[in-house]
Structure 1
Amino acid sequence: MSPKPHILVIEDEAPQREVLVYNLESQGFRVSEAATGDEGLLLLSEDKPDVLVLDWMLPNVSGIEICRQIKTKPETRDLPVIMLSARSEEVDRVRGLETGADDYVVKPYSVSELMARVKTQLRRARPTLAGQVLAFEDIELDAETHRVTRGGEQLKLGPTEFRLLSTLIEKPGRVWSRDQLLDRVWGRDIYVDTRTVDVHVGRLRKALTQFGGEDPVRTVRGAGYSLG
């Protein structure tokens, strides 16, 4: 199974935060929550989420400032941010989006609409978690049925090799370090030696070439692995 998509909620109003967390968890997401911007930034640095739901009006550091910080750092620039705000004026919406927010939702909002918007951002950021079929050259991965084919032939992959391929195929050409692959495939809470990554990459290569074809997994010396 793929790891659950991780959503971080930064919202200072406890009742609203509780409703959000409850609904996100009932949709099958793993949720972290923070009541202040500083607490949220700390959580984000420790465990980067797949989507951030961020309130504009926060004590001390505003949501706008947090969004600005996130979008200027290379390691978090691609994190989808959904801004929540009671400000419904067009000028405020434009300001929020210009700061880098990927979506802007005006309070009071419909919870079901917000859930749909979270899923939309997740599809853009991590397509395999949204159950799409991803392809690279003649390799196809169906996240929902856990089927992988190459050139029309169904491949036999173990669960770890499937998660590895899921990560690599999301962004072909991107180089993933062993530590990044450990976080994505095994999870942060599990201690696994980085050499274990090499072993499973070897198994993935074997599975991908079981019916012939070139090995699509590239080793980048001193950096990690990429697909293509």
Structure 2
Amino acid sequence: MEDREMKVFLIEDDEDIALVVQEALKREGFEVTHFKRALEFFSHIEKEVPDLVVIDIMLPDFDGFRIARFLKNRPDFADIPVIFLTAKVSEKDKLEGFGLGADDYITKPFSIKELVARVKAVLRRAKGKKDTKVFKFGGLEVDTERVKVTVEGKEIKLTPSEFSILRFLLENYGKPVSRERIIEEVWGFDRDSTDRTVDVHIKHLRDKLGEYGRFIKTVRGFGYKIED
């Protein structure tokens, strides 16, 4: 935690749940602002930017996915971490949430201690992402400043696109990342880049990383993630 209070925006229409979440986070030193409707949030975020947004998906006016899409499409808000807090438990909903760039997805009913722990974890990862220049994963080391990758101390030559994909997966360690997000991150909105482009680069990347290539895992029908 930093010296100043970390600001959390909570978008939740169930007042009982909102009260429990607010009280728990405030006890941990967070400053929490609650919104019952998306429109209230849209208006307020233009005046004050939070460190984290916790969003219920099923809201009276707009669904939470639309809010996340709004945040990720705005350059000034795109880096704000997002946690979904929802009763929607299907794998399809979870993948859609992660596909929109969510940092975590918590289903109701939930443990308030677990919620607080996951809020703290997301904020730590967000801070680490800003600070980290070297990622270490077992014997794999990725130096983003020097654009250098080593496996067990031996330098591995990657193309710029392969390096960008690896860095992006490590920045989102353990999180499923859609092919669409990889394309946007690596090639921008190049209309010639397709899902097949991503798959081919992932295959080459796995081959070059040797034994560490197996940690790049396929999320069927969606994309990829890296984890042990």
With normalisation by structure 2, the TM-score equals: 0.54
Give the secondary-structure state (helix, strand or coil) at the position aligned to 2:34: strand
* Distance in 2, Cα, partners of 1:59 & 1:100: 22
**Offset of residue 135 of structure 1:** 9.3
Deviation at 1:87, TM superposition (A): 1.1
Q: 1:14 to 1:135 in 2, by over 3 A?
A: closer
The verdict on how the C-alpha distance between 1:54 and 1:135 changes in structure 2, with shifts beyond 3 A counting, is closer
Equivalent residue number for residue 58 of structure 1: 59
- TM-fit CA distance, 1:95: 1.0
With over 3 angstroms needed to count, the CA separation of the structure-2 counterparts of 1:56 and 1:125, relative to structure 1, is: same
Deviations 1:115-145 (A, max 9, x none): 0110011112235xxxxxx799xxxxxxxxx
The offset of 1:107, in angstroms, is 0.6
- The residue that corresponds to 1:96 in the other structure is 97
Distance 1:56 1:83 in 2: 7
Amino acid at match of 2:31: R
Give the equivalent residue in structure 2 for 1:111: 112
Amino acid of the structure 1 residue aligned with 2:16 = P
Aligned to 2:84: 83
Q: In 2, distance between residues paired with 1:113 and 1:53?
A: 14
Identity in percent: 37
Deviation digits for residues 73-131 of structure 1 (CA, Å, limit 9, x no counterpart)? 0001010000011111111111111122111111111111110110011112235xxxx
Q: How far has the Cα of 1:2 moved from its partner? A: 2.1
Q: Deviations over 1:150-170 (max 9, x none)?
A: xxxxxxxxxxxxxxxxxxxxx
Query: What amino acid is aligned across from residue 101 of structure 2 in structure 1?
Result: G
CA contact (8 A) 1:50 1:126 kept: no
Q: Tell me what 1:20 maps to.
A: 21
SS at match of 2:89: coil
Unaligned 5+ residue runs, structure 1?
128-133, 137-228
Cα deviations by residue, 1:32-77 (Å, 9 ceiling, x for unpaired) = 1100011112222211110111100011111110000000100010
2: CA distance, partners of 1:106 / 1:28: 24
For the aligned residue pairs, the C-alpha RMSD in angstroms reads: 2.0
Residues 7-28 of structure 1 show CA distances to partners (whole Å, capped at 9, x for unaligned) of 1100001000010100000001
- Number of residue pairs the alignment of both structures matches: 131
- SS of the equivalent of 2:118 reads helix
Q: Which residue of 1 aligns with 2:125?
A: 124
Q: For residue 60 of structure 2, what is the amino acid of its counterpart?
A: P
Structure-2 separation of matches of 1:42 and 1:135: 33
Q: What is residue 31 of structure 2 aligned with on the other side?
A: 30
Contact 1:55 1:83 in 2 (8 A): yes
Give the TM-score, by structure 1 length.
Answer: 0.54
The answer as to whether partners of 1:51 and 1:80 remain within 8 angstroms in 2 is yes
Secondary structure of the 2:55 match is strand
1:11 aligns with 2:12: yes
Shift of 1:3: 1.2
